[in-house]
Chains A and B, each alone.
Chain A
């Protein structure tokens, strides 16, 4: 966990009071909606179909049990008793009243969380690997650099009015769990030939209307130069990014139109001109931030405790362990993913009671720490393996132990037309139907790793472009239709999916997915050839034939 200081607390409290005044003036009519809109957006407040939506940042996906309890309190006191975890390590509340928002913000500020820059044309919540600090083989904890970036970009005057929103993601592992290649700036920590730690810098990734995979503009930037190099990128973007057309305003368009070599050269020139500046991080600053992260004092524990051996005879426990428990960097400990994808449930939602219960379990079994992943699941990052059987029972009781992590029913979905004012079609009911179709855990296990992503419109909040199976809702003559893509992926080998054919109506989506899965099971070379690898090997044609032969 990161320990905030007096400066952070003062900043949050001042921000709450500033927003309280702005809300008061809006409600009295002193501020018009046109004047107020940007102010509310800068505090994560949207207006959706039925109500205001309030988006709260969970920087680099790390939460304390105290913070999670406070989120539960906000859900219960100011909303309708639940929250929705998003694909960018935020939580959204869907029914909040504008008049009560300042009090909700104040409650969150007391535990060091906020909604600053979760919307608007500024630098957004810095996201990272939800296994940061505990993943085996990690170069180092990427949250230290995420935190440095968070501090640097928060209320940065030059980057508060960018041409468009701007998103960072950082990973320090070979396997990318932070989807860095679909972010405006993706940073991959690695070591150079001299053994120094630095970043591969990727720019111009993004989904939405015009999807692009990010391109590397510099293979190695030393850690001390991270902020100055990022500033150079943002300056180039701020100077050349288009402000005349919202659809062409993201940095991905600029990189595409300039060409990656030209863009990289512009950044390099800007960076060189900056020279050594106040943005060059000295070791003391990096160490200061590093020192504010506290880590558990782990016990020396056996790799295979007796409790685990005994529980292995229980097939239900064993299925969950196989699916949801992952290797920790410390022997005797494990990372446990909590599935927020119950059969028939809305993906990523958690009730206030579940949040409270998870906070209690984090205190009991995970040193009071919870992580939020971009897949819309939670994780307990430091669980002693001897506690796994007891933890499983507790998680199962509150409905977050569905053994479907990374399987076909672990669906990423945006809120869609049930909530969102931008959506053309519903996402959640499609996800719910698919989880029912593939509810049998044996079938899901037989299929293997398969990510389905659903977006209710081209803005792609459900990241459909990079789903192994991507589903995009569109509207045709007043009816909901869905385009299906296959072969996308969001990891270190990120690719955009390929459209398999004409859009299908709402009622046929689950049938189409079943057809695709049946085709895959028949076509895969071996049981461990993943769906996405079969698509890569064969292309989309066999799947297209299967789906459209009878339609």
Chain B
């Protein structure tokens, strides 16, 4: 499989790097302190291909902490709030769109 670092990077707007946490699979976002956060608002925002490539490279290097890092689009509103840029990322951030079956 092609390494994410060898894949062509396209950036059409503000973007972040996201992955799943190795020990439990939780959704995580790369922050500006070379760490991870489960909170999208703490994600490092990149706007150019060079920035994205650098953020992805340091994310992929953390093979113990995270799995499958990739670049994802975000929307930033006038107030500076960061929101997922597509439905897939919205579901990853907010969870399933259905009620989970619950035992009584």
A387 CB-CB contact with B under 8 Å: no
Q: What is the CA–CA distance of A426 and B95 in the complex, to the nearest angstrom?
A: 13
Contacts of B1 in A (CB 8 A): 34
What would be 11 A-B contacts, judged by CB atoms less than 8 Å apart?
A27-B23, A48-B25, A52-B24, A81-B101, A82-B101, A97-B23, A345-B101, A353-B104, A426-B97, A429-B97, A432-B98
Q: What is the CA–CA distance of A47 and B92 in the complex, to the nearest angstrom?
A: 13
Beta-carbon contact of A47 and B97 below 8 Å: no
Q: What is the CA–CA distance of A494 and B91 in the complex, to the nearest angstrom?
A: 35
A99 CB-CB contact with B under 8 Å: yes
Contacts of B98 in A (CB 8 A): 346, 418, 428-429, 432
- Please indicate which of the listed interface residues A34, A48, A417, A419 has the most CB atoms of chain B within 10 Å of its own CB: A417
B88 CB-CB contact with A under 8 Å: yes
B52 CB-CB contact with A under 8 Å: no
Q: What is the CA–CA distance of A106 and B67 in the complex, to the nearest angstrom?
A: 25
- Chain B 1-42 against A: per-residue CB contact (8 Å), 1 yes, 0 no? 100000000000000000010111111000000000000000
A262 CB-CB contact with B under 8 Å: no
Contacts of A253 in B (CB 8 A): none
Q: What is the CA–CA distance of A353 and B104 in the complex, to the nearest angstrom?
A: 7
Interface set, chain B 63-94, CB cutoff 8 A to A = 63-64, 67-68, 86-88, 91-92
What is the distance, in angstroms, from A544's C-beta to the closest C-beta of chain B? Answer: 28
Q: What is the CA–CA distance of A26 and B87 in the complex, to the nearest angstrom?
A: 31
What is the distance, in angstroms, from B66's C-beta to the closest C-beta of chain A? Answer: 9
Which residue of A is nearest B26, CB measured?
Answer: A51
Total chain B interface residues with beta-carbon distance under 8 A: 26
Given A417-B88, A428-B98, A480-B87, decide whether A47 and B67 contact each other with a Cβ distance below 8 A.
Answer: yes
Contacts of A479 in B (CB 8 A): 87
Beta-carbon contact of B101 and A29 below 8 Å: no
What is the distance, in angstroms, from A325's C-beta to the closest C-beta of chain B? Answer: 25
Contact of A97 among B24, B27, B86 (CB under 8 A): B24
What is the distance, in angstroms, from B35's C-beta to the closest C-beta of chain A? Answer: 16
A410 CB-CB contact with B under 8 Å: no
Q: What is the CA–CA distance of A52 and B23 in the complex, to the nearest angstrom?
A: 9
Q: What is the CA–CA distance of A26 and B24 in the complex, to the nearest angstrom?
A: 12
Beta-carbon contact of A33 and B96 below 8 Å: no
Contacts of B67 in A (CB 8 A): 33, 47
Contacts of B20 in A (CB 8 A): 47, 51
Interface set, chain A 147-167, CB cutoff 8 A to B = none
Q: What is the CA–CA distance of A350 and B103 in the complex, to the nearest angstrom?
A: 9
Which residue of B is nearest A83, CB measured?
Answer: B101
Beta-carbon contact of A417 and B87 below 8 Å: yes
What is the distance, in angstroms, from B1's C-beta to the closest C-beta of chain A? Answer: 8
Q: What is the CA–CA distance of A28 and B63 in the complex, to the nearest angstrom?
A: 10
Which residue of A is nearest B94, CB measured?
Answer: A50
Beta-carbon contact of B68 and A33 below 8 Å: yes
Beta-carbon contact of B103 and A352 below 8 Å: yes
Contacts of A354 in B (CB 8 A): 103
